[in-house]
Amino acid sequence: MPDGPSRALTTIGRILISEESVYGLILVSGMIVVSNSLTGTSANALLTVVITVIVFFSAHVYAGTIAGLAKEHTRGSVRASFAAAFHHSEGMLLIAIAPIAVLLLGVGRVLDDDVAIWTALIVDTVILGVLGWFAVASWVKRFWPRMLSAVITAAFGAVLILLKALIHH
């Protein structure tokens, strides 16, 4: 069994290489694009992203809890079902930290609002590509399948960047 730091990295890797993380990042990118059409500030984007991630995470955990209970076809443990749903969904929260940190740089005036918003979208897209790479790397050792997965996964973020460029410029 891995030691403390190694186990923590393994756990974080398991959380991040999940459909919830990919979905969470695409959700964050979409909310950044949408929020920018309202006032265009990094503060507005940050508020929109944080509220949306919390609501979607909560809804995901709730739905997972209910579905977990329904699958048992008996009176299952709500606590166990909730814990399983929470752990299944936690990638959605963890993955949002990077774009939120970038948006906070805009709120703190370290970056200009537009730079913070564009940077958050680019960071999301790069992370999506990395997630795509490592997801396939866990079962394929060849370069091209990994690269194809990275490009396809990053393309979701790229489409949202394109949407932002088309809508706002």
Rounded to two decimals, the pTM is 0.85
Domain housing 110: 4-168
Other C-beta atoms closer than 10 Å to the C-beta of 76 total: 14
> Residue 49 has what pLDDT?
94
The sign of the CA dihedral 7, 13, 19, 24 is positive
Q: 3-state secondary structure string, the chain?
A: CCCHHHHHHHHHHHHHCCHHHHHHHHHHHHHHHHHHCCCCCHHHHHHHHHHHHHHHHHHHHHHHHHHHHHHHCCCCCHHHHHHHHHHHHHHHHHCCHHHHHHHHHHHCCCCCHHHHHHHHHHHHHHHHHHHHHHHHHCCCCCHHHHHHHHHHHHHHHHHHHHHHHHHHC
Map tokens 């970038």 to a residue.
102
> Residue 166 has what pLDDT?
80
Query: How many independent structural domains does the chain possess?
Result: 1
Region for 73 from its dihedrals, namely left if φ exceeds 0, alpha if ψ lies in -120 to 50, beta otherwise: left
> Residue 139 has what pLDDT?
87
Q: pLDDT means per 10 residues in the chain (169 residues)?
A: 60 78 91 77 93 95 92 74 92 94 96 94 94 89 95 93 77
Selection from 22, 33, 27 nearest residue 50 by Cα: 27
